[in-house]
């Protein structure tokens, strides 16, 4: 089946573009959107996107449950966002200085995110997490940072999960702990030296790729906050992946825990390239002292788009819409799994669901499942959480469930003991 699919793929428009890509792009496609390690049903190149739907370069339509790994939160081409972007674009984008919408965006984030007194903007999630780390170091005069083992905070050397291309020195000051395990945080602080911890970096919940997700134990969140207060370290929340999908503010606000610094990107501009580091008064000193900039960090169009996105998220009750669609999907998957007699684990918030299969060594079942779902018109991922957006309708979820039903059938036929 896989050979057939691969052969079929090679004779498509997508296959032709992949052949050209292999000649001028390392591995044909690098990074998280490269499909070399995914089933052959996954196309590499896309031709069009609208709402929760995308079309590959061969014209095949899909309901997209990856949302470009997060950026699409209101729906591709959301009219309010596009109008705001077009209005700003008619005036200017990259200019000799920022446009007023930069101030409006900073004001809006400071208003929405409880811990934030100020904002800085950049382009990548990695920019935002690295800005937080630099600001924590500059404010505290310390070097060490705690990060959960296996958590992804960007491709910078201090947080890259692969060591190739990094030096041991660049990773020297990073001390690991286990998410939801407060004792491991305390041990890591002791390892780092109680007076040398600049920052403890946490994810809003455990959303490591290739693992079942883990919601945050409120006692863990409070305990990490207390540790940071006790030892003078910055509590940094990496909101890049989850930000504004759980709460119209910081993700730990419902737990009553405020970080000192937070890193944002992906969804805040509904697909426009923007990232933000937010912080409280104590850490503004470091923010004022570091040197950080980028050629396009002051681009006006993504900022205008972000203002429109963040306003629309709350005005349109986008989180409610994602929860509704995500709940329909979770319930439907549970029914299908039970009907097919396939044991699955559904973890994480319904807006960012993770699905794994019992005893699924090397993700073989997940690959089969997602390959079949792809063939039937739904974009999922075998090793990474999925993303709902506010444009997912009940009919979209029905279409996804028709595709996942094909996925379960494929798993049964490939893995069932006769």
Tell me which residues in 384-413 interact with its own copies (CB under 8 A).
Answer: none
Picking from 151, 158, 144, the residue whose alpha carbon sits closest to that of residue 178 is 151
Quick note: the x/- pattern for its own copies over 172-211, rule CB under 8 A, is: xx--------------------------------------
Contacts of residue 56, Cβ cutoff 8 Å, sequence gap at least 6 = 14, 43, 45, 46, 47, 62
Yes or no: say if 260 and 280 are a contact pair by the CB < 8 Å rule.
yes
37 is an interface residue for its own copies by CB under 8 A: no
User: Could you tell me which stretch among 159-167, 187-195, 218-226, 331-339 binds its own copies (CB under 8 A)?
Assistant: 159-167
Binder of its own copies out of 3, 4, 295, 361 (CB under 8 A)? 295
User: Could you tell me which stretch among 98-106, 228-236, 314-322, 343-351 binds its own copies (CB under 8 A)?
Assistant: 98-106
Measured from the CB atom, the residue of 285 and 335 that comes closer to its own copies is: 285
Binder of its own copies out of 1, 5, 12, 93 (CB under 8 A)? 93
Beta bridge partners of 76: 51
Q: Smallest distance, Å, CB 274 to its own copies?
A: 8
Q: Smallest distance, Å, CB 361 to its own copies?
A: 23
Measured from the CB atom, the residue of 7 and 117 that comes closer to its own copies is: 117
11 is an interface residue for its own copies by CB under 8 A: no
134 is an interface residue for its own copies by CB under 8 A: yes
User: Could you tell me which stretch among 125-133, 187-195, 333-341, 343-351 binds its own copies (CB under 8 A)?
Assistant: 125-133
Binder of its own copies out of 7, 117, 226, 320 (CB under 8 A)? 117
8 is an interface residue for its own copies by CB under 8 A: no
Are β-strands 118-122 and 197-202 bridged in parallel, bridged antiparallel, or unpaired? unpaired
Binder of its own copies out of 15, 35, 189, 244 (CB under 8 A)? 35
Binder of its own copies out of 1, 12, 58, 110 (CB under 8 A)? 110
Measured from the CB atom, the residue of 220 and 386 that comes closer to its own copies is: 386
Q: Max alpha carbon distance in the chain (Å)?
A: 69
Yes or no: say if 257 and 222 are a contact pair by the CB < 8 Å rule.
yes
Phi then psi for residue 346, to 5 deg, are: -105, 120
User: Could you tell me which stretch among 20-28, 207-215, 250-258, 334-342 binds its own copies (CB under 8 A)?
Assistant: 20-28
Q: Smallest distance, Å, CB 415 to its own copies?
A: 27
Quick note: the x/- pattern for its own copies over 365-384, rule CB under 8 A, is: --------------x-----
80 is an interface residue for its own copies by CB under 8 A: no
Measured from the CB atom, the residue of 103 and 183 that comes closer to its own copies is: 103
**Burial letters 76-97, b for 16+ CB under 10 A, else e:** bebebbbebbeebeeeebeeee
What count of other Cβ atoms lies within 10 Å of the Cβ of residue 131? 25
Q: Smallest distance, Å, CB 204 to its own copies?
A: 16
What number of chain residues touch its own copies (CB under 8 A)? 106
Binder of its own copies out of 294, 320, 335, 343 (CB under 8 A)? 294
159 is an interface residue for its own copies by CB under 8 A: no
Q: Smallest distance, Å, CB 400 to its own copies?
A: 14
Contacts of residue 258, Cβ cutoff 8 Å, sequence gap at least 6 = 114, 115, 225, 235, 250, 252, 280
Are β-strands 53-56 and 46-50 bridged in parallel, bridged antiparallel, or unpaired? antiparallel
Q: Smallest distance, Å, CB 6 to its own copies?
A: 17
Beta bridge partners of 201: 147, 236
Binder of its own copies out of 4, 11, 167, 341 (CB under 8 A)? 167
281 is an interface residue for its own copies by CB under 8 A: no
Residues 303-362 that bind its own copies (CB under 8 A): none
Yes or no: say if 250 and 261 are a contact pair by the CB < 8 Å rule.
no
């Amino acid at each position: 089946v896989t050979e057939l699919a691969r052969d079929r793929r090679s004779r498509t428009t997508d296959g032709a573009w992949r052949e050209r890509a292999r000649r001028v792009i390392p591995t044909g496609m690098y990074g998280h959107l490269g499909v070399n390690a995914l089933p052959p049903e996954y196309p590499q190149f896309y031709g069009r996107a609208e709402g929760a739907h995308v079309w590959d370069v061969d014209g095949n339509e899909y309901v997209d449950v990856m949302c470009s790994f997060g950026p699409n939160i209101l729906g591709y081409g959301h009219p309010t966002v596009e109008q705001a972007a077009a209005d700003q674009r008619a005036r200017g984008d990259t200019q000799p200085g920022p446009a007023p919408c930069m101030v409006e965006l900073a004001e809006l984030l400071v208003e929405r995110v409880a811990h934030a007194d100020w904002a800085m903007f950049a382009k990548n999630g990695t920019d935002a997490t690295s800005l937080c780390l630099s600001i924590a170091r500059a404010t505290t005069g310390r070097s060490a940072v705690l990060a959960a083992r296996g958590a992804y905070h960007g491709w910078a050397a201090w947080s890259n999960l692969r060591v190739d291309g990094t030096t041991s020195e660049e990773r020297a000051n990073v001390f690991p702990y286990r998410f939801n395990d407060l004792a491991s945080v305390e041990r890591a602080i002791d390892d780092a030296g109680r007076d040398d911890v600049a920052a403890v970096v946490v994810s809003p919940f455990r959303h490591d790729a290739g693992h079942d997700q883990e919601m945050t134990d409120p006692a863990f969140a409070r305990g990490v906050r207390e540790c940071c207060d006790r030892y003078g370290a910055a509590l940094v929340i990496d909101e890049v992946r989850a930000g504004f999908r759980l709460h119209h503010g910081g993700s730990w606000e419902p737990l009553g825990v405020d970080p000192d610094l937070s890193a944002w990107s992906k969804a805040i501009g509904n697909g426009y390239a923007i990232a933000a580091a937010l912080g409280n008064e104590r850490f503004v000193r470091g923010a004022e002292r570091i040197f950080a900039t980028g050629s396009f960090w002051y681009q006006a169009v993504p900022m205008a788009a972000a203002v429109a996105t963040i306003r629309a998220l709350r005005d349109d009750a986008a989180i409610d819409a994602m929860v509704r669609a995500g709940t329909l999907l979770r319930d439907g998957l549970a029914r299908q799994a039970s009907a097919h007699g396939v044991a699955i684990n559904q973890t994480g918030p319904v807006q960012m669901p993770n699905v794994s299969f019992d005893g699924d060594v090397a993700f073989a079942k997940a690959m089969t499942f997602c390959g079949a779902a792809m063939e039937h018109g739904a974009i999922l991922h075998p090793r990474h959480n999925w993303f709902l957006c506010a444009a997912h309708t009940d009919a979209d979820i029905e279409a996804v469930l028709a595709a996942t039903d094909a996925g379960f059938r494929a798993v049964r036929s490939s893995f069932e003991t006769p």
